[in-house]
Structures are given as C-alpha cells and as structure tokens.
Amino acid sequence: MTGVTSILPTDRISDAIEWRVEPGLTPYPHALAVMEARAAAIREETAGELAWMVEHPPLYTAGTSAGEGELLAPGRFPVFETGRGGRYTYHGPGQRTGYLMIDLAARGRDVRRYVHALEDWLIATLGDFGIAARSVPDRVGIWVDRPGGEAKIGAIGVRVKRWVTLHGFALNVSPELAHFGGIVPCGLPDFAVTSLADCGVDASMADVDAALQQRFSVLIEGLGPVAASG
C-alpha cells in the first residue's frame, strides 16, 4: 500500500500503532483484503497495530443485522456484504472511513469498552471543530442537533476476530448526503444524516485527519493500559 504513514507511541514504544492515510479512493474489496491480512499478522505477532484512514468510491455496505427492506435503491451503487456489526451504511468521497486493527487481547478484551472509546474519540475530534456531538444509548454512532432534530454525523461498525478489531468508523466530512437516500442508514428511518459541511464547518479531509490523529490518545487511553507481555 502507498500512503502517508507515521507511528504513534502509546503506553510503550514497543506498542506503537501505525497511522496510515491512503490517498485517492480505495476499492472496498481491497480494503477488506488488507484488513483481514493485517489482522491475521497482528494475531501472529508479525505486524503491529494499524489505524488506516481511507475514502471509498460511492457504495453501500450491509452489516450482519441489515434488513432486507432497508436497501431502497438496489442498483444505485455497488452493495457489499461485510462481517461487521450493524446494518446498511454508505461510503463515498468526502467521508473519512477509519479502519482500525487493534489488538484487544493486549488491551483488556472488552469490546463494549472499545466501542465507547471509539465514540469518545470521534466526539473529541468533532469538538475541535466546534461541533457538540454525543453518543446516544441504544443508538450506536455519533449524533448532533440540527434544525430538524437529531442527525447522525458518524457511524460505527466493528468486527473482532481472534481479539483483533476490524472495520471501525465513518465520519461525514463533506459527502453528497443525497447518496444516503438509497438505504435506511443504520436501520434508523426517523433520523437524518449530516456532515461537518452541513453543520457549517469548512474543513478539509486533511484538517479532519490532523484532528483525528491529535485526539487518537482518547481512544487508546479509553482502552486502558497495555497488558504486560511474558
């Protein structure tokens, strides 16, 4: 893979997490293959953890709980079955999708805590842009208040395989919001979808990436200390 890469030290320098920003639009099947290969290598202790930031061409993904009637426009964009939790989501240009391959075996083996740490990380990042975001019990994702009511600005969908995480989050920076109309986003028909741009924030993807990286410690600290090896 090509991309902009840096190493983020966490609790110990030996536990550094690679941060990679992929240029251009990444085909979804390629992203799945990369995640699976990296997760297997982490489990075999032949590679380190990875936070991988990508953008996709327009597409829909179906999580393990996706309902048959929630795909409203079957021929609009390619549809991919995926092993992550959740329902239908949209990915496309202007949306930062973050794929995280984190070793939960070394970080407490607590999936619920991991999801909450993901939420806290995105909320802290959005706060840097003046957006008051929050999580909502029993409604996974990141939410903000808009003139018409609550709207979703970020989606979370994770999979854990042999205690290594796959998939992650999708944060709407400046996507074409009309593209969400081909699905019932996350199975929630009564709520709108929004973005930083829709909230009046003029931020580039590079701006958002910088804030995500700056706030990455919120995620790591939320998982607790790395377990001692040996």
pLDDT (mean) for 177-182? 95
Quick check: 105 pLDDT over 70? Answer: yes
Active site residue 199: no
Q: Which domains does the chain have, with CATH numbers?
A: 4-223 (3.30.930.10)
Written as one string, the DSSP assignment of 73-136 is -TTTS-EEE-SSSSSEEEE-TTEEEEEEE-BGGGTTS-HHHHHHHHHHHHHHHHHTTT---EEE
Residue 152 has pLDDT above 70, yes or no: yes
The pLDDT score that the predictor gives to residue 228 is 62
Please tell me which residue in 62, 186, 199, 218 is annotated as part of the active site.
Answer: 186
pLDDT of residue 11: 43
The reported pLDDT for the residue numbered 7 is: 59
21 pLDDT band (50/70/90 cuts)? very high
Q: List all residues 6 or more positions away from 46 whose beta carbon is below 8 Å from its beta carbon.
A: none
Residue 214 has pLDDT above 80, yes or no: yes
- In this prediction, residue 146 has a pLDDT band, given cuts at 50, 70 and 90, of very high
Closest CA to 223 of 121, 114, 141, 140: 114
Looking at per-residue pLDDT, the higher value among 158 and 12 belongs to 158
**And the tokens for 105?**
């075996």
Q: Is the pTM of this model over 0.85?
A: yes
Mean pLDDT of 3-8: 65
